[in-house]
Amino acid sequence: MKTPLWRSATLLLLFWIISLACSLLPWSASPTTEPDQPTEAATLTSEPVLEKAEPTGEPATPAEATASPAAEAATAGPYTLAVSDRYPFFEKKVAIAQSLTARAGQIWIGTVSGTIEEVDPQTGSFGKSLSLAPDSSGGMPMAYPIQKMVFEGDYLWVHAGFFEGPMPAPRLFAIDPATGEIVHEWDLNSPEWMQGYERGGEALDFGFGVSPGKIWIDSHIVDTQTFEVTKVDIPTIMTLYAYDGREWMWITAEIGGSCNDLVLINVNDPTSGWCEDEWPFFTNAADGDGLGNPMVLAGDKMWMADTGDDGSYVLEAYPADIEQAMEITGPLLSGPSPDSESAIKLFFAGDYVWVLDTIGDQMGYLFQVDPRTGETINSLDLVGDEGRAIGDLPMDIATEGDNLWVLTARQLLRIKLP
């Protein structure tokens, strides 16, 4: 059974409020007890924890990272999957994280309260900090989550806020990562943006898609060089995106079963779309049950997660070349998924597919999938029972250099790629 979108958003805000309250209690400050000794599966070097730069502009003084708790490997993989460094930041910043993006030499974290924070991947120290939230008049930090961030072209692109409800209007920002300057921003509820169309009622926090030179969001495409905005016919309810690396943007969404809940839009000519009543390569995924399915491009395959007709969770792989995919019956690979598609994020790095369980039965676990076979070859408990008890949910995942980075609500984790 799929989890409604409001569940993840509501849980996030609930944990944010609880964590803020807990931060005022003595026991919620930096731990004074000695941590459990790490096992070989979760060794840790003495890297510094995240620390915000001082207002004077001087670099932050690094402190030592905390020890990593023991990792639990559910399967015996070809090597030990382990967290090498943990950079806790909640007690230092009283901030709950939401989103993460990275490129060579740069990491940025987005928070629930509307700030984006630069992180040095070598030292784990905070650099620039920028608040994108509307002025809360000196009261409690408002809920204005940074839903999605990505580097594209010369800018860091940031989607913040909720599309629906009483919260401040959602916005899209183009930010110069070198200076922190907001180069351009769009009010996604303004008449200029809406252009008279009605948005889907459940389109509240699904971020955006990215293809070379384009940001895809809320039935619009933004040119990342000229900032020109083009209105296009893109689903907006429970929408998820994946660029095939060639010509098409794959979009899964709630569209009433039409197109088997999968639409392809040509990235070079967005007026050209592809819809099929039944996609021949599907068996389970995007089977018309009405919610967006997470996807990820891994080499020459597009991976998608779903719940089968029998209630089982599945991962399927199809040719990323849609012309080839239309010539086959059934997926290239199909295997079990660790959890429901509404509870996970899919990511590709280091020649492996990674499944991050954010709110499901395996919440807090990272799974490593061999894209050649679809077999889960490693798993790692990122937060432990203690983290789950305090709401330290996994939020996002990114890669930088030879490292896989996982963001939880309260800490940033480094995992060495194989």
149: nearest Cα among 164, 130, 123: 130
List the Cα angle 253/211/288 in 5-degree steps: 15
CATH assignment of the domain containing 184: 2.130.10
Whole-number Å distance between alpha carbons of 29 and 31: 6
Which has the minimum average pLDDT: 189-198, 213-222, 259-268, 351-360?
189-198
Task: Kindly state whether residue 308 falls inside one of the protein's structural domains.
Answer: no
- Greater confidence (222 vs 123) lies with 222
Whole-number Å distance between alpha carbons of 336 and 64: 39
Mean pLDDT of 185-189: 93
Q: Where are the beta strands (DSSP E) in 50-96?
A: 63-64, 83-88
**Interval 113-160: pLDDT, tens:** 999 999 999 988 899 999 999 876 555 557 899 999 999 999 999 999
pLDDT of residue 290: 46
pLDDT bin (cut points 50, 70, 90) of residue 376 is: very high
**Dihedral, CA atoms, 257, 294, 279, 271, nearest 10 degrees?**
80
pLDDT of residue 76: 54
How many independent structural domains does the chain possess? 1
pLDDT of residue 154: 96
3-state secondary structure 35-55: CCCCCHHHCCCCCEECCCCCC
Residues 6+ apart with CB under 8 A from 363: 343, 357, 388, 393, 394
Burial degree of 175 (CB within 10 A; 0-12, 13-18, 19+)? buried
pLDDT bin (cut points 50, 70, 90) of residue 207 is: low
Q: Could you give phi then psi for residue 231, rounded to 5 degrees?
A: -80, 130
- Greater confidence (195 vs 66) lies with 195
**Interval 66-86: pLDDT, tens:** 444 444 444 456 668 999 999
Note whether 208 and 229 are within 8 A (CB). Answer: no
Tokens of 52: 């915000």
Q: Which residue has the tokens 């709950």?
A: 96
Task: Kindly state whether residue 349 falls inside one of the protein's structural domains.
Answer: yes
Which has the minimum average pLDDT: 51-55, 59-63, 268-272, 309-313?
51-55
Note whether 162 and 220 are within 8 A (CB). Answer: no
Q: What is the mean pLDDT of the chain?
A: 80
pLDDT of residue 187: 94
Task: Kindly state whether residue 402 falls inside one of the protein's structural domains.
Answer: yes
**Interval 290-320: pLDDT, tens:** 457 899 999 999 999 988 777 889 999 999 9
Burial degree of 128 (CB within 10 A; 0-12, 13-18, 19+)? middle
Q: Give the chain's length.
A: 418
As beta bridge partners, residue 352 has 349
User: What are the DSSP calls for 126-178, one per residue?
Assistant: EEEEEE-SPP-TTSSPP---EEEEEEETTEEEEEES-SSSSSPPPEEEEE-TT
Burial 295-313 (b: 16+ CB within 10 A, else e): bbbbeebbbbbbbbeeeeb
Task: Kindly state whether residue 376 falls inside one of the protein's structural domains.
Answer: yes
pLDDT of residue 105: 93
User: What are the DSSP calls for 389-407, one per residue?
Assistant: HTT--EEEEEEETTEEEEE
User: What are the DSSP calls for 168-207, one per residue?
Assistant: PPPEEEEE-TTT--EEEEEETTSHHHHTTPPPPTT-SS--
Task: Kindly state whether residue 362 falls inside one of the protein's structural domains.
Answer: yes
Domain containing residue 177: 5-33+45-232+338-416
CA distances from 134 to 42, 170, 201 (A): 41, 11, 23
Report whether pLDDT(20) > 50. Answer: no
Task: Kindly state whether residue 165 falls inside one of the protein's structural domains.
Answer: yes
pLDDT of residue 8: 47
Q: pTM of the prediction?
A: 0.82
Task: Kindly state whether residue 144 falls inside one of the protein's structural domains.
Answer: yes
Report whether pLDDT(33) > 80. Answer: no
**Interval 240-293: pLDDT, tens:** 999 999 999 999 887 766 888 899 999 999 999 999 998 999 875 544 454 578
Task: Kindly state whether residue 395 falls inside one of the protein's structural domains.
Answer: yes
pLDDT of residue 206: 58
pLDDT of residue 328: 95
Tokens of 217: 């969001």
Report whether pLDDT(339) > 50. Answer: yes
pLDDT bin (cut points 50, 70, 90) of residue 50 is: very low
